Structure 1
Amino acid sequence: MVFHLALIGFSAFSSLPTEKSVYAATTYSASSIKTASVSTPVVGETASYLEPDLTETWTNVKSDRAVQVVGVQAINRIVPNNKFMKPVEAKGGQLVVVGMKVKNTGQESGDMMWTNFQLIDSQGRKYNEINSFEEIISVNAWLKENDVEEAGSQMFPGETIKTAKVYRVASDASDFKLVVNGKLISIS
């Protein structure tokens, strides 16, 4: 099964704002690599695209949860469709969106709350997820608009959801690794 995320890989976000510029963006997934035309609300801006080392491998990150990274992309801003929400800006760096599937491998329903996700670049610098309340609300709205679940979504036993984490990283950051509850996952 192939998921595409927004500008990275879960299915090109179809509900982006009406101010559009269209450019070719490369999306990555575990089973295919495709070039897609993606609409973005940022006129004249470009983003860099990172090719992750993707496999069909699941990494157990809790006794009853497994994660599979399905895509990663650096972008300049996130703009939810709700005009009352502020865009999330790169602020001199870049926003890195890591798309993933999360599987409940246990016998009880639950979520991925209290799970620590951290991004590490090639220089060993560590980045936490976007954590400003206002930015979290905008990111979650953006994800929901595009049929991507929040990590706090309830998962039933055996269920798999698609989700994403957003990190603000240095402008020269590259070659990322994702650390989930101390488990290292190479993603680029």
Structure 2
Amino acid sequence: MRRTTLLLAALLLAGCSTAQQQQDPHSAHVHPAAAPPSSSAPARPGGFSDTDAAYVQLAIPQDETVLPVLQLAKTRQGVNPALAALAAEVETGHQKELEGLRKALTTAGQTYLAMHDGHDMPGMVTADELDKLTKVTGPAFDDELRTLLKAHFEESTTVAKSELGAGSSPEVLELTKGIEASRAEYLAKLGTG
């Protein structure tokens, strides 16, 4: 519950205007849900709102931080074969998601700001968690991998639901529907891996 609350607060606080983000990504935060769709904020290409921007700026590092975990799962000897196959599937899916998320930013005339680098946020694998994973083998590795993936899938689902409820960009909403659906599939497979 605490992790979900922190994640939603981070998403809402991350909704900075483009100009402010370019100067200082942590100044003058705006609550994206507070601005009605017909506000006097400048229109962005593709109907890209502050909520869309906040979501994409968070979804990218959520996916990026899990990539080293997926690589390790594919290369580590003795990993449960179903878990290794899931890791390969997730890596392919996340690479595709990242392409789509970055394209959405470009379409909206924005750049990725990496404002969450080094943050210990729900849904992101930390350096300490990755280090711990590299030091275990056998069933302990599988258990730790499942724990990290489950947390990532659940938290990225939470953030996706926030975007689906408050976002406005058709491109981002379509990507987010795919992300939400993939997480449900991954969680189902993780339960049987």
| Bigger Rg, which one | 2
Q: Structure 1 length as normaliser, TM-score?
A: 0.29
Bigger RCO (CA 8 Å, 6+ sep) = 2
Q: Structure 2 length as normaliser, TM-score?
A: 0.29
Pick the structure with more strand per residue: 1
Pick the structure with more helix per residue: 2
